[in-house]
Amino acid sequence: MNTLPIRPELVAEPGDASAPESEPVDVAKVLGEDIIFGRLAPGTRLVEDHLIARFGATRHYIRQSLIELERTGIVVREKNKGVAVRSLTPTEVRQIYEVRELLHRQAALRIPLPAPKRVIDELERLHAEYSRHLRERHFRGIHEINDQFHLTLFACCGNAYLVDSIKHYMWLSLPVRAKKTADIDRAVASERDHHMMIQLMKGTDSWALAQLCVDHVQPAKDSYLQEVEEAAAYPLARHH
């Protein structure tokens, strides 16, 4: 699966006379943000006719946009059902996060400490930008800078394949992470964690850094599982 971020534009296939040279709306980007920020819930079907009416785009362009979203892993195409926002069962969430924890721990342990000044400077720059978005309650910026911060940190491990795997599982976990994207308390807690990560990158305690990188991803997972399990238990509770 291609785990590259959503591209800023989608170009119609050459020779397709039914598609215009350009479209006024980047459908993949807009739908991607709707999913990331929870406006489209996991399991929501993305019906072509509805999207054509919403965006005023051609069917060709809508299909290309859905293909792009499939490549990121945040939507899935189900046989005889069409395309839907990717949803995860509790078992899938636990398995994805088990792998995320292994990847994060291994990458953090491979980072030579103390990290080079240029890396610290870049992490501090990203941290300052994250804090600015937080003060302004700009949640899209918080989401984007958060991912940049972690990928910059993990890139120091020196293993590009390991970093690509981390990126892949970041996208797989989007349905889980989206639940907390606009949670101000969680964003503040993440800001504190990021500050501590930078301080640990300046020191020599690889094990403390690795444990913090693992602990950092737990709240989103725990919150998602709690909501899913409460929702599943609610119909039973009504009969008691």
**Secondary structure (DSSP) of the chain:** ---PPPPS--PPPTT-TTS-S--SS-HHHHHHHHHHTTSS-TT-EE-HHHHHHHH---HHHHHHHHHHHHHHTSEEEETTTEEEE----HHHHHHHHHHHHHHHHHHHHHS-SSPPHHHHHHHHHHHHHHHHHHHTT-HHHHHHHHHHHHHHHHGGGS-HHHHHHHHHHHHHTHHHHGGGTT-HHHHHHHHHHHHHHHHHHTSS-HHHHHHHHHHTTHHHHHHHHHHHHHHHHHHHHTT-
Last residue of a domain, one of 72, 87, 102: 87
Q: Do residues 27 and 61 both lie within one domain? A: yes
- pLDDT (0 to 100) of residue 117: 97
Q: Per-residue pLDDT tens, the chain, 240 aa: give them.
A: 433 333 333 333 333 334 444 444 689 989 988 887 778 888 899 999 999 999 999 999 999 999 999 887 788 998 888 999 988 899 999 999 999 999 999 999 999 999 999 999 999 999 999 999 999 998 889 989 999 999 999 999 999 999 999 999 998 888 788 767 778 899 999 999 999 999 999 999 999 999 999 999 999 999 989 888 887 776 555 444
Number of domains in the chain: 2
Q: Do residues 76 and 114 both lie within one domain? A: no
Looking at residue 133, which CATH number applies to its domain? Answer: 1.20.120.530
- The pTM is what? 0.77
Last residue of a domain, one of 51, 72, 87: 87
Q: Answer yes or no: is 238 within a domain.
A: no
Query: Which residue segment(s) compose the domain that 51 sits in?
Result: 1-87
Q: Do residues 75 and 163 both lie within one domain? A: no
